[in-house]
């Protein structure tokens, strides 16, 4: 998905042509509030001062956009829920039109209405010469912002900014700002009731995103989060009969690969191993950095196994890939949460901030990789109802202290045990950038490339240098 808007005080003719002829292909274009059916036709823009463009490869979203009035300066992108079997696209479109016409200025209310149809979405509208951006609670599709004296541009692809001479090393402001789902509190709770409710809510969250008659992939490193999603998919698949494939990427003898191999007999599902080498990573590192438009060590190290796994999924005919993203933030899976609790800090506040920053920390990277390989990523743990419920649980349901030792994701582990996840086999699981061997790869490549350099942080310097060289080579700076 590539969605961008821009306003300008001067004639944008040359800029528009440059954008349309760039790396991306656009299927929708609005000029001064009027929809142009063919953005590749000859466009006269002598008096243009407002332009809004959308590109998407989703036939469903194309249909929805095309049902809006030609004079409607609005574009919509999202992923429809798959449990809407009783509603036709025409019925969905009719309801959407009513919602947008009546509630475009009531963001919170409109967001809740749109969850009737979408698991994730973004709307960009031009109202009274002002850009209005409304998104889901997570902000799965962030729009970055850049302005000069005569230009304002919003884009989820940063390269559009570089085309208008923005500084590639400067952090861009982004919109819309994610919102945390409100807390749902229950007066009477106990472990059994919480486990049962979590299973029900997580099953519903998965069900919203399971298509019929489709190959399904799971980003799988053998951790608790993806194992629970896998078990629920197997349970639901009795009704759908989809082919489910687990995909793991890593160096040949990395911890993740060896760990997944040890679990194979317990899972009873096909596991696709995508083995990469240092040479493989060195060869495609420029492509990864250009795709995610980031050069910090953490994002690049995470992108390496994700790139190989998603590429393999696409080559295997898979269109839908499930992820366990969000479980660590929601159920206090990081070590820092235990440290915060020891210091008497509010772990919920820290968790909330981590959820709010997921969009730019992880979704931006993953969505760009998925778009590259024409895939849809599914995140059941980030369902708004599930977030509201888990936020209302006491801290000791997520981070339990037993004999002076904290157990992270405590209630999630109990849920895993209930549905047959081999929880005891998960001890020692490490973060993906280490478990896959990607960090080791980056260290080796960068130290070899900068072996005569006196730079203190060689990986950082190497990735920054590679990023700038790639942008320059492709004509973005």
Of the two residues 450 and 250, the one the predictor is more confident about is: 250
> What confidence category does residue 201 fall into, taking pLDDT thresholds of 50, 70 and 90?
very high
Residue 423 DSSP class: G
Calculate the CA 348 to chain-centre distance.
22
Tokens of 130: 């002002």
> Dihedrals φ, ψ of 77, to 5°?
-140, 145
CB atoms near residue 405 (< 10 Å): 8
Residue 363 DSSP class: I
Residue 397 vs residues 191, 229, 330, 456: alpha-carbon distances, Å: 8, 20, 11, 42
* Strand runs labelled E in 9-102: 28-31, 34-36, 50-55, 74-80
321-330 pLDDT tens trace: 999 999 999 9
- Write down the pTM of the prediction: 0.89
233-249 pLDDT tens trace: 999 988 787 889 999 99
**Residue whose entry in the numeric block shows the structure tokens 């969850």:** 115
| Residues 6+ positions from 145 with CB-CB distance below 8 Å | 152, 153, 154, 172, 173, 174, 175
pLDDT confidence of residue 60? 60
pLDDT confidence of residue 38? 60
Distance CA 206, CA 82 (A): 10
62-112 pLDDT tens trace: 666 666 654 445 677 788 898 886 778 788 888 888 888 888 889 999 999
Mean pLDDT of the chain: 84
Distance CA 175, CA 183 (A): 24
Tokens of 246: 């687990």
162-194 pLDDT tens trace: 887 888 998 898 888 899 888 887 777 899 999
pLDDT confidence of residue 37? 58
pLDDT confidence of residue 78? 83
> What confidence category does residue 470 fall into, taking pLDDT thresholds of 50, 70 and 90?
very high
pLDDT confidence of residue 132? 83
346-364 pLDDT tens trace: 999 999 999 999 999 999 9
Distance CA 375, CA 324 (A): 16
- Mean pLDDT over 211-229 rounds to 90
Among residues 141, 162, 131, 152, which one has the least CA distance to residue 18? 162
pLDDT confidence of residue 3? 59
Distance CA 292, CA 276 (A): 19
C-alpha torsion sign, points 445, 448, 450, 453? positive
pLDDT confidence of residue 57? 42
> Dihedrals φ, ψ of 243, to 5°?
-85, 125
Domains and CATH numbers, the chain: 2-175 (3.60.20), 191-462 (3.40.50.620)
Tokens of 467: 């990023």
Residue 403 vs residues 93, 400, 406, 407: alpha-carbon distances, Å: 56, 10, 8, 10
> What confidence category does residue 28 fall into, taking pLDDT thresholds of 50, 70 and 90?
low
Q: Looking at 276-418, list the stretches that DSSP marks H as alpha helix, in order from N- to C-terminal side.
A: 278-292, 297-315, 327-330, 335-342, 347-356, 358, 364-372, 384-391, 410-418
pLDDT confidence of residue 446? 93
pLDDT confidence of residue 87? 79
Torsion angle of the four alpha carbons 405, 406, 412, 414, in this order, in degrees rounded to the nearest 10: 20
Lowest mean pLDDT across 35-44, 248-257, 369-378, 451-460: 35-44
């Amino acid at each position: 998905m590539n969605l961008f808007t821009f306003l300008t005080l001067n004639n944008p003719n040359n800029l528009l042509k440059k954008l349309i002829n760039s790396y991306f292909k656009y299927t929708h274009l609005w000029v001064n509030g009027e929809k142009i059916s063919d953005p590749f036709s000859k466009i006269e823009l002598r008096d243009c001062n407002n332009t809004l463009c959308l590109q998407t490869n989703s036939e469903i979203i194309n249909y929805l956009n095309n049902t809006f009035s030609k004079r409607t300066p609005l574009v919509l992108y999202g992923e429809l829920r798959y449990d809407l079997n009783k509603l036709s696209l025409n019925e969905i479109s009719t309801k959407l039109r009513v919602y947008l016409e009546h509630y475009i200025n009531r963001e919170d209310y409109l967001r809740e209405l749109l969850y009737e149809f979408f698991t994730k979405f973004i709307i960009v509208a031009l109202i009274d010469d002002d850009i209005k951006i409304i998104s889901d609670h997570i902000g799965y599709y962030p729009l970055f912002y850049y302005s000069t004296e005569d230009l304002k541009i919003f884009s989820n692809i940063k390269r559009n900014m570089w085309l208008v001479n923005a500084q590639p090393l400067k952090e861009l402001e982004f919109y819309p700002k994610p919102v945390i789902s409100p807390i749902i509190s229950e007066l009477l709770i106990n472990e059994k009731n919480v486990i049962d409710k979590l299973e029900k809510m997580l099953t519903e969250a998965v069900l919203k995103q399971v298509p019929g008659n489709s190959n399904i992939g799971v980003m799988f490193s053998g951790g608790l989060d993806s194992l629970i999603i896998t078990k629920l998919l197997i349970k639901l698949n009795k009704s759908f009969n989809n082919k489910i494939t687990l995909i793991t990427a890593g160096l040949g003898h990395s911890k993740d690969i060896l760990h997944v191999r040890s679990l194979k007999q317990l899972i009873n599902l096909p596991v696709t191993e995508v083995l990469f080498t240092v040479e493989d990573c060195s060869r495609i590192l420029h492509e990864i950095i250009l795709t995610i438009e980031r050069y910090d060590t953490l994002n690049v190290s995470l992108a390496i196994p994700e790139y190989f796994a998603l590429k393999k999924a696409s080559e295997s005919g898979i269109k839908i890939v499930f992820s366990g993203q969000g479980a660590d933030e929601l159920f206090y899976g990081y070590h820092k949460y235990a440290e915060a609790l020891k210091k008497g800090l509010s772990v919920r506040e820290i968790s909330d901030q981590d959820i709010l920053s997921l969009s730019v920390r992880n979704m931006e990277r993953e969505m760009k990789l998925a778009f590259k390989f024409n895939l849809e990523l599914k995140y059941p743990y980030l369902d708004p109802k599930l977030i509201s419920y888990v936020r209302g649980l006491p801290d000791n349901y997520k981070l339990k202290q037993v004999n002076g030792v904290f157990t992270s994701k405590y209630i999630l582990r109990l849920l895993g045990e209930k549905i047959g996840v081999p929880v005891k086999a998960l001890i020692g699981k490490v973060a993906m950038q280490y478990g896959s061997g990607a960090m080791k790869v980056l260290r080796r490549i960068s130290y070899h490339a900068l072996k005569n350099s006196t730079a203190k942080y060689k990986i950082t310097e190497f990735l920054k240098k590679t990023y700038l060289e790639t942008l320059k080579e492709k004509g973005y700076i």
